[in-house]
Amino acid sequence: MAATVAAPPTVARPAHLSRLPELARRVVASHGARATVRSPFDLAPIGEIPVSTPADVASAAERARQVQEDWAQRTFAERAKIFLRFHDRVLDRQAEALDLVQLEAGKARAHAWEEIGDVAIVSRYYAHQAERLLAPRSRQGLVPGATQTWEYRHPKGVVAIVAPWNYPLAMGVTDAIPALLAGNAVVEKPDSQTPFSTLWALDLLVECGLPEGLWQIVCGDGPTLGPALMAAADYFQFTGSTATGRTIARQAGERLIGCSLELGGKNPMLVLADADLDAAIEGAVRGSFASAGQLCVSTERIYVHRSLAAPFLAGLEAATRKLRLGVGLDWTYEVGSLHSERQLATVRAHVDDAVAKGARVVCGGRPRPDIGPLVHEPTVLAEVAPGMTLFAEETFGPVVSVYEFDSNHEAVERANASRYGLNASIWTRDTDLGRRMATRLRCGTVTVNETYAAGYGSVDAPMGGFGDSGLGRRHGAEGILKYTETQNVSIHRGPALAPPRGIPAEAFARGVTGALRALRRLPGVR
């Protein structure tokens, strides 16, 4: 592990942070209350943001709705130019964003860069694909040759987004991108401790041509602002805990609006008997400890075929012990800080509970206040059993448990023995076998011979969860279609679709029955 020091130094703030008060002015807030944003690196202030009220949420939504009326009339090409320009400027100015993400979220710079890549990929994809996915489509009408049917996609109106703290730039903007490109306005509440990354993205998008007021930001406590967001929204996008997701789903049901929820995960990794051992170990380290394990698709359970268990565990221990821990705005370390004292307390409680009940610490297992106040060692546990909290509950930290299995069928059963189903990986040289096994896993995303990047980054395909991991999908066609209302417009140019005058209904029904039998035999008629 990283060398210890007597007291972790305060992380220097770069000069561009002098713009934070300017960014904070983009928060819709009518009162003087302010909140201090502190860095997990050293618990020192980053800046202050205004605190919004429920009335501010209503005002933001009203303003956004007014701007949306004009935005919805713009062509797809006009909208796309803005987001392609944004794509380029995010890459050009990534150093600013990396500093902000690191300071707000506490992660290592390499993992902060994943957010830059995600924003660029999603911007490019939907800028190029929105028109194809949302353009009016001709559909088969009821009576071939007489009924012409069209499917239209209209924006919902105002989309409410509640974004999490763990990926403040990526989650702060990538759900907004398809919503905006579909013609909607957005009112978003980033997490109160990571608002500046989202505000930076909004400021940059306005610089790229996004109309002022189309994307509104409110800041404050979730339970205080959540009901106002729900009341103002035509659609609700949420990323966070399963418990809060259930509340949002109930409230959305009461309002009869749609919602998309990406919730918790207890993601498994399956290492089959023929796996490339070195690749699987490298994948396990990256999948378990990226962003200090505070990643919705990170690995928390590893199932290894018994024939590989001993060398795999030894290799995982050796690789984990080599990881460099640190805090600071540079590329020199591989695992950063946990985000909050609450998150550190959860990790400590899960590890302590497991050890007290018989689990074995293979490596790690301790907080490292000598490096940073919220830093915790990457931790590998063995002999974890039912009854331990972390056996089934999401830890959301740098902790992974390793188990053995004897057959592929057993591995699938044990991977599926969870109320969560967000992400999984399978490691095998037989990729056909891996693909077949993947379809048996109750997970929204399964990657063969990679942990999360290949599946999550393949944005032409949808991503989301089964079971308690959520509803709806982001990415792909579903990631933008969910922000639209579907309209069927049918033009009929033939005889009335009802019994002609003087023809009994029964006789008409017999005639239509014969026509249906004939259509059944015609090729190309659906």
Q: Are 61 and 225 in contact (CB under 8 A)?
A: no
Angle at 118 between CA 114 and CA 123, to 5 degrees: 155
Q: How confident is the model at residue 520 (pLDDT cuts 50, 70, 90)?
A: confident
Q: What are 442-499's pLDDT values in tens digits?
A: 999 999 999 999 999 999 999 999 999 999 999 999 999 999 999 999 999 988 889 9
Contact, 380 vs 364, CB < 8 A?
Answer: yes
Could you tell me which residues are beta bridge partners of residue 35?
A: 49
In order of their start, the domains of the chain are 26-263+478-484 (3.40.605.10), 267-464 (3.40.309.10)
Q: Do 438 and 448 contact (CB within 8 A), yes or no? A: yes
Model confidence at 7, pLDDT cuts 50, 70, 90, reads: low
Distances (CA, A) of 320 to 323, 325, 423: 5, 11, 22
> Each residue of 319-362: pLDDT tens digit?
999 999 999 999 999 999 999 999 999 999 999 999 999 999 99
Mean pLDDT of the chain: 96
Determine which of 34-38, 214-218, 518-522 has the lowest per-residue pLDDT on average.
518-522
User: Which helix (H) or strand (E) segment is 489 a member of?
Assistant: strand 484-492
Residue 211 in tokens: 């109309």
Instruction: Mark whether 262 is an active-site residue.
Output: yes
Residues 451, 283: Cα–Cα separation, whole Å: 6
pLDDT bucket at 521, cuts 50 / 70 / 90? confident
Q: Which long-range contacts link 433-439 to residues 24+ away (Cβ below 8 Å)? A: 433/272, 433/408, 434/272, 437/270, 437/408, 437/411, 437/412
Helix or strand (DSSP H, E) at 287: helix 277-289
The length of the chain in residues reads 526
- pLDDT bin (cut points 50, 70, 90) of residue 5 is very low
How far from the centroid of its chain's Cα atoms is residue 492's Cα?
A: 43
How many Cα atoms are found within 13 Å in the side-chain-facing hemisphere of 451?
24
Residue 294 contacts residue 338 (beta carbons within 8 Å): yes
Given a contact cutoff of 8 angstroms between Cβ atoms, the answer to whether 89 and 67 are in contact is no
HSE-CB at 315 with a 13 A cutoff on CA atoms is 16
Strand order in the sheet with 423-427: 360-363, 379-382, 399-405, 299-305, 267-271, 423-427, 445-448
**Weakest-pLDDT range from 28-42, 127-141, 210-224, 512-526:** 512-526
Predicted pLDDT at 519? 85
Is the pLDDT score of 523 beyond 90?
Answer: no
In a 10 Å sphere around its CB, with 0-12 CB exposed, 13-18 middle and 19+ buried, how is residue 493 labelled? Answer: exposed
Q: Which residues contact 330 (CB under 8 A, 6 or more apart)?
A: 109
Q: Is the pTM of this model over 0.85?
A: yes
Strands (E), 39-117: 45-50
pLDDT tens digits for 116-159?
999 999 999 999 999 999 999 999 999 888 999 999 999 999 99
Out of 208, 259, 296, 363, the active site residue is: 296
Tens of pLDDT, residue by residue over 399-426, are 999 999 999 999 999 999 999 999 999 9
Question: Tens of pLDDT along 298-311?
Answer: 999 999 999 999 99
4 falls in which pLDDT band (50, 70, 90)?
A: very low
In whole angstroms, give the CA distance from residue 215 to residue 211.
Answer: 8
Choosing from 104, 115, 262, 404, which is the catalytic residue? Answer: 262
What is the Cα–Cα distance from 38 to 103, expressed in whole angstroms?
8
Please tell me the distance from the alpha carbon of residue 491 to that of residue 504, in angstroms, as a whole number. 26
Residues paired with residue 48 on neighbouring β-strands, in sequence order = 36
- C-alpha dihedral sign at 161, 164, 168, 171: negative
